């Protein structure tokens, strides 16, 4: 192949590329819009409406949680634990009259005082721990 033939092939291929690019641009301009996805699944990018937010909230209302009221804590040795019998008294670190901790799934959410209603113990909440206060305790 001579040099002239090689130069002619390069020029033809550049013209071919230009023609192909023009054809693609023309096709894209007249093409039908791309198919839109069906509204089967929730669109995550869309802002939630009040109705959908309430429906999402209703979904979690029936999830059970474990509430624990803690009178106090103590540490004892296994020797002393094994010596406990009916009527033994275990001293706790909580003081009489001091508010008790209310934990939900192990997280402190409130404090309160013990009440007795119809021969059953209950707790009257006296202080609710705000989410901001809970976050501060996590970062300690």
Percent of the chain with pLDDT over 70: 69
Boundaries of every domain in the chain:
64-138
Which residues does residue 119 pair with via DSSP β-bridges, in sequence order? none
The superfamily (CATH) of domain 64-138 is SpoA-like (2.30.330.10)
pTM above 0.75, yes or no: no
Cα separation, 114 vs 124, whole angstroms: 6
Q: How many CB atoms lie within 10 A of CB 89?
A: 6
pLDDT tens for 22-58 read: 877 777 666 666 666 666 666 666 566 666 667 777 7
């Amino acid at each position: 192949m001579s040099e002239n033939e090689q130069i002619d092939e390069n020029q033809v291929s550049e013209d071919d590329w230009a023609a192909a690019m023009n054809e693609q641009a023309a096709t894209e301009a007249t093409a039908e819009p791309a198919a839109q996805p069906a509204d089967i699944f929730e669109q995550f990018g869309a802002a939630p409406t009040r109705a959908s937010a309430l429906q999402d909230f209703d979904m979690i209302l029936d999830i059970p949680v474990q509430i624990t009221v803690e009178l106090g804590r103590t540490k004892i040795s296994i020797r002393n634990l094994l010596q406990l019998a009916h009527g033994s008294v275990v001293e706790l670190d909580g003081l009489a009259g001091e508010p008790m901790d209310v934990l939900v799934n192990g997280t402190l959410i409130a404090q309160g005082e013990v009440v007795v209603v119809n021969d059953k113990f209950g707790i009257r909440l006296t202080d609710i721990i705000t989410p901001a206060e809970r976050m501060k305790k996590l970062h300690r």
